[in-house]
């Protein structure tokens, strides 16, 4: 008996081009790349605002972008996290960092390592908490709208 190509072992489901497993992996990869690119853009915008827009408007915008970046970091580190959970975690992290500014630690660290000032801040400002809420809310809204649109387009192409 020779080799019969018609009776070759079936492929694993994950290797099929139309497999749901491959589709989920592809979506995860696409989301990861999108989060990274968006994060890079947010960092650039945040630094531009921080160094060029002065006063309370610049502070508020930079803090809101900081919160957007926190949301993106959570979404990147935990890819399957629900958007509402990512928003909650990112706001809490921002708030904890802000409250930590009531201690001398962040300012002392900024004296030794000046770039730490951009991440940890140095002075507590209650308005920053509002900016974080605005930034996280904007990121959450965008994420939910994008997911809804992608779900609608994938339903149209598969149906």
* pLDDT for the residue 28: 82
* pLDDT for the residue 21: 59
Give the predicted TM-score (pTM) of the model. Answer: 0.81
Q: Per-residue confidence of the chain (159 residues) as pLDDT tens digits?
A: 454 555 555 554 444 555 555 666 778 888 899 999 999 999 999 999 999 999 999 999 999 999 999 999 999 999 999 999 999 999 999 999 999 999 999 999 999 999 999 999 999 999 999 999 999 999 999 999 998 988 877 666 655
Which residues have C-beta within 8 Å of that of residue 21, sequence separation ≥ 6? Answer: 13, 14
> How many helices (H) does the chain have, and how many strands (E)?
6, 0
Residue 68 burial (CB < 10 Å; 0-12/13-18/19+)?
A: buried
The ranges assigned to domains in the chain are 21-158
d(CA 87, CA 13): 34
């Amino acid at each position: 008996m020779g080799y019969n190509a018609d009776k070759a072992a079936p492929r694993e489901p994950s290797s099929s081009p139309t497999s749901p497993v491959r589709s989920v992996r592809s979506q995860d990869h696409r989301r990861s790349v999108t989060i990274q690119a968006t994060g890079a853009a947010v960092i650039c915008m945040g630094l531009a605002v921080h160094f060029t827009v002065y006063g309370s408007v610049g502070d508020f915008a930079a803090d809101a972008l900081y919160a957007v970046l926190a949301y993106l970091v959570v979404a990147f580190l935990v890819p399957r996290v629900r958007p509402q959970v990512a928003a909650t975690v990112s706001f809490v992290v921002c708030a904890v960092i802000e409250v930590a500014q009531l201690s001398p630690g962040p300012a002392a660290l900024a004296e030794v390592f000046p770039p730490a000032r951009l991440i940890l801040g140095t002075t507590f400002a209650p308005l920053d908490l509002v900016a974080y809420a605005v930034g996280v809310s904007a990121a959450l809204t965008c994420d939910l709208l994008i997911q809804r649109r992608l779900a609608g387009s994938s339903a149209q192409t598969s149906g």
